[in-house]
Amino acid sequence: MKFGGTSVADAERLTRAARRIVARAEEGKGVVVVLSARGKETDRLIADAFEISENPDPREMDMLLSTGERISCALCAMAIRDLGHEAISLSGSQAGIVTDTVHTKARIVDVKAHRIQDALDQGKIVLVAGFQGVSTAKDVTTLGRGGSDTTAVALAAAVGAEVCEIYTDVPGVFSADPRIVPGAQKLDVVSFEEVLEMAASGAGVLQLRSVEYARNHGVTIHCRSSFDDSTGTYVVPEEDTMEQPMITAVSHSTGEARITLLGVPDSPGAAGRIATTLADANINVDMIIQNEPIADGEPADMSFTIPADDVRLAKESLEPLKTELNLRGIVADEEVGKVSVIGAGMRSHPGVAAKVFTVLGENAINIEMISTSTIRISVVIPKEQVPDAVRALHTAFELDGDDTILAEQPFSEKGA
C-alpha cells in the first residue's frame, strides 16, 4: 500500500490512512506500506536549502530531503499502534533499498528485503520511507520525482506481494482528464504499455519509472482513491486485459514547446550535431521532424519538441550552431500542445490514424507535427485548441461515459 503526500498531509488524513492499513491487516494480509513526505514538507526543505545555497550539493540534498518520508512513517506507525496493531517504520536504507550513487535521481539496483520479511513474520505492519535508499557507497540517496511509487513497486516485487496498491487523490486512471472531458471514464483495467504511453504523453496519475519497474518484475498495480473504498484501476500485463478496446484513452500535455531551426544544411552529421548538443545540455527531445529539402543539397527546416522549461537552455545551447551550420534562425513556439490517442487494440486496427486526422480536420484543428508508436498516435496542435481536440477525439472513439457520476469525483494532479 502506497500513500502519497496529500494522503498523510495532516493528523486527520494520516489517521484515516492508518485505519485503512489496519483494515487490510485485519483481513489477514501481511502489509508493507510506503509513504511520501507530508503535504508541503519536501517543498519546505527545498526552500530551506536554497536559502542556504544557490546550488546545493546533491549528496546533501538527498540527506536533507530523505527526512520527510521518515517523519511520515514514524507518525503513521504511532497511529497504527494506537489502533492496536504492531507497526515498525524503516528508512529506505533499513528496508534494504540499495541504489546506485547518482544523487537526487538514483536507480534501485537491489532490494534486500530480509528485515521487512522478518517484521512481517512477526506479524508487524511495516512502514517504509518512500523515495529513498542507500547507495553502494553507504550514502543516503533519493530516487527523484515519483520515487515513492517506484519504492512501492520495488518492495512489492521483492516480497512477492499479491498487489501493489497506489492510493492517490484520484479514483484511478481515466480515459481522459476529467477536468477537460466531463464524460471521461475511470478505466477498470489498463495494460502496462498503455499506462506507459499515457504517462509519457502527459497523464500524471502513475509515474513512468514505477510502471516500467512493475512491468519488468510482473507486479500488478492497483491505482485507487485514498478517499473511499471503490475499486480503482488495475495495471496488468497486456495478455491479462480481458478485452482490448481499440482506444483506451486520450491524453494531452501543454508543458512542451517547439523549437524550429531554419535552414539546416542537407549534409551528413548536421542532425547529429544538433541532437548531441541537446543531449549534452540534458534536454529531453520528444518529437523530431525534418522537412524534405526542396532540392537535394538545399537546406531545410528542422523542428522538435522539448519541455517548455528548457526553452531558454535549448536556445543558449544551440546558439553556437548558428554560425557552425550557417542556420537562418532559431524559433521557439510555446503556444503548442500535444494530444495523444492510446490503445493496445490499435495494433490490429490500422484505421486509427486516419480517424484522428479526420476528426481534428472536421473540428478545424491544424496538425503541426505527428508521431506514433505501435499503440499511440500523438499530434502537436495549437495550445488553445487542446481541450476541443481531446473532447472531440474522446467522443469520436466512443469513450464518453455517464458524466453525472464522474462530476462528483475529486480530481487533481498527483504529488511526488
Cell of 280: 549534452
Residue with Cβ nearer a copy of itself (59 or 107) = 59
Which cell numbers in the block locate residue 313?
Answer: 537552455
Strands (E), 80-236: 87-90, 97-99, 108-111, 125-129, 132-135, 140-142, 164-168, 189-191, 221-225, 233-236
Cα angle 339-341-347, degrees, rounded to a multiple of 5: 150
Find the binder of a copy of itself among 27, 28, 52, 398 (CB under 8 A): 52
d(CA 187, CA 411): 15
Q: How far is the CB of 277 from a copy of itself (least distance, A)?
A: 29
The 65-94 site mask, x for binding a copy of itself (CB under 8 A), equals: -xx--xx-xxx-xxx-xx----xxx-x--x
Residue whose CB is less far from a copy of itself, 151 or 305: 151
Q: Is 56 in the site for a copy of itself (CB under 8 A)?
A: yes
DSSP state for residue 7 in the 8-state scheme: G
The answer to the question of residue 101 lying near a copy of itself (CB under 8 A) is no
* 350: exposed, middle or buried (Cβ count in 10 Å: 0-12, 13-18, 19+): exposed
Q: What cell does 5 get? A: 503526500
- Binding mask 203-242 toward a copy of itself (x if CB under 8 A, else -) reads ----------------------------------------
CB atoms near residue 292 (< 10 Å): 9
CB-nearer residue toward a copy of itself: 129 or 302 = 129
Q: How far is the CB of 10 from a copy of itself (least distance, A)?
A: 8
Considering the complex, state which of residue 65 and residue 379 has its C-beta at the smaller distance from a copy of itself: 65
For a copy of itself, the closer CB: 46 or 321: 46
Between the two ends of the chain, the Cα-to-Cα distance in Å is 15
- The nearer residue to a copy of itself, 128 or 250, going by C-beta atoms, is 128
Q: Confirm or reject binding of residue 57 to a copy of itself (CB under 8 A).
A: yes
Q: Tell me the C-alpha distance between 302 and 49, whole Å.
A: 40
Binding site for a copy of itself (CB under 8 A): 11, 14-15, 45, 48-49, 51-57, 59-61, 63-64, 66-67, 70-71, 73-75, 77-79, 81-82, 87-89, 91, 94, 115, 138, 140
